Amino acid sequence: MIIGDPDQSIYRFRYANPGAMTDYALGHPGTHDETLGECRRCPQRVVAMAAALVNHNPRPAPPVLAPRLVNPMGDVAIVQHVSLQAEATAIAEFLDWYLLQHPNVPAGELLVLANRRRIGYLIRDALNEAAVNGLRLWAARSFFYEEALDEGSAQEGFTLLALLADPDDRVALRTWIGLGSPSGRAGAWVRIRQHCEASGLSPRTVLQALSAGHATLPHAAAAVARFAELNARLEALGGLLGHDLVAGLFPADDPGCADIRIAANTAADEHPTPAQLLQELRTLVTQPEIPGNQGNIIRVMSLHKSKGLTARVVVVAGCVAGAIPTVNRQAPHDEQLRQIEEQRRLFYVAITRTTETLVISGAAHVPFADAMQMKLDIAPGHGGNVNLLASPFLPELGPQAPNTETGTAWRNRIGF
């Protein structure tokens, strides 16, 4: 027996195969289907939009998703804001207003999804600013931990932590020597490795000898300089525990460390030593524990991470071309088509997390540098800004989808 929904197959990068279900009968004669098509979670309008969307993917049969007739129609808005900051501010003020209007609804019933970490961070920060200014009992947390070590400064801090916990960690030492170099200082490391194999010494011992002038190797000066920097950093961090250790590893003024710093501070109270903090961070990054619906945390995360979750209010932010869908334009044409199909399924998963209210949101303008950093599709603009293009998935949501409205019109209509 095989159970599942091929329209929710969103993990091709983990080798998931959405065709496995439809092909199952080919290898198992006598197979018959039992269709579980009624969507018991979502409002009827959202179900109709989701079915219309995913029907644009090539498929052997129409989608089976059908609304549950006793469910409400649902509140849906598609909103275009002037800028990313205006989008983040409006979403934060809307969710704050919603919680004030529904005092018995826990903050965990509000879910914000974004396909770009930077957009998620802007919304998270705007939410927390609103919470502090309004003396609220809730807070917002982001769960982009799978990308927490993308930035060089975060990688450097994590590597330092590994070497604090175990100075003989050869993988961490190799990582440290290579960080900051396009080649990873591969040439110098090859010579160090060859010396280790000939002498039977460890890389750390060889680097110590080179640094002290007790040995020489040609063209290894850059690696030796990095090793000297490592020793200075480890000495400065020596003896630090808990939040002091976190501050030394992941400085508060470095935006590249933002997510790993949040994770580290979350762990620091109960895991203060370098070895304890390292183990807990490894777990948090690879297996993050996401709060449930009944807590006082508004969850901000990627669309991928939302699979399996449910919330009363779901905001899908950053719905602009280049982010939704995200496609590698350097890939062969057929591969790009497969990526678009999976991104369509990903958007389908995202909008079907809601039981009551769905907000699909995007921005109209962004500085050129920001658009390039986030790999967004752009059109010419003015004054240093470029125009963003709405996600091509929006017209695919069918006749049940509302018309796009401006951020100002949305505010006036809702009244927040």
- Indicate whether 380 pLDDT > 90: no
| Domain assignment present for 166 | yes
* Residue 106 and residue 202 in one domain: no
| Domain assignment present for 265 | yes
When mean pLDDT is compared across 288-292, 325-329, 400-404, the lowest value belongs to 288-292
pLDDT of residue 224: 93
* Residue 176 and residue 207 in one domain: yes
Q: Are 272 and 265 in contact (CB under 8 A)?
A: no
| Domain assignment present for 374 | yes
| Domain assignment present for 173 | yes
- Indicate whether 290 pLDDT > 80: no
The pTM is what? 0.74
Q: Are 347 and 304 in contact (CB under 8 A)?
A: no
| Domain assignment present for 324 | yes
* Residue 184 and residue 251 in one domain: yes
Single residue among 238, 266, 286 that ends a domain in this structure: 286
pLDDT of residue 288: 65
* Residue 347 and residue 391 in one domain: yes
Q: Is 197 helix (H, G, I), strand (E, B) or coil?
A: helix
Owner of token pair 């010396």: 195
Single residue among 257, 286, 315 that ends a domain in this structure: 286
* Residue 279 and residue 308 in one domain: no
28-60 tens-digit pLDDT = 888 888 888 889 999 999 999 999 999 999 877
pLDDT of residue 326: 94
Tell me the average pLDDT across 323-329. Answer: 93
CATH of the domain at 216: 1.10.486
Q: Enter the tokens of residue 341.
A: 């199909």
DSSP 390: B
| Domain assignment present for 232 | yes
Q: How many other C-beta atoms are found inside a 10 Å radius of the C-beta of residue 84?
A: 27
**Burial class (CB within 10 angstroms; exposed 0-12, middle 13-18, buried 19+) of 221:** exposed
Single residue among 226, 258, 286 that ends a domain in this structure: 286
Structurally, the chain folds into a number of domains equal to 2
Q: Residue 14: which residues within 8 A CB-CB, separation 6 or more?
A: none
Q: Are 81 and 119 in contact (CB under 8 A)?
A: no
Structural domain boundaries enclosing 392:
67-138+296-414
* Residue 185 and residue 210 in one domain: yes
* Residue 103 and residue 171 in one domain: no
User: How many Å apart are CA 416 and CA 410, to the nearest integer?
Assistant: 9
213-222 tens-digit pLDDT = 898 888 889 9
Q: Which residues of 382-408 are buried (b: 16+ CB within 10 A; e: fewer)?
A: eeebbbbebbbbbebbeebbeebeebe
146-168 tens-digit pLDDT = 667 878 899 999 999 999 999 99
pLDDT of residue 13: 64
Question: How many Cα atoms are found within 13 Å in the side-chain-facing hemisphere of 283?
Answer: 11
pLDDT of residue 15: 64
| Domain assignment present for 218 | yes
Question: How many Cα atoms are found within 13 Å in the side-chain-facing hemisphere of 258?
Answer: 14
CATH of the domain at 403: 3.40.50.300
Q: Enter the tokens of residue 28.
A: 């198992």
Tell me the average pLDDT across 175-197. Answer: 92
Owner of token pair 């240093």: 384
pLDDT of residue 189: 94
* Residue 273 and residue 340 in one domain: no
396-414 tens-digit pLDDT = 999 999 999 999 999 999 9
* Residue 205 and residue 160 in one domain: yes
When mean pLDDT is compared across 64-73, 141-150, 340-349, 371-380, the lowest value belongs to 141-150
Confidence of residue 14 (pLDDT cuts 50, 70, 90): low
| Domain assignment present for 291 | no
Question: What mean pLDDT, rounded, does the chain reach?
Answer: 91
Bin 249: left if φ > 0, else alpha if -120 < ψ < 50, else beta.
alpha
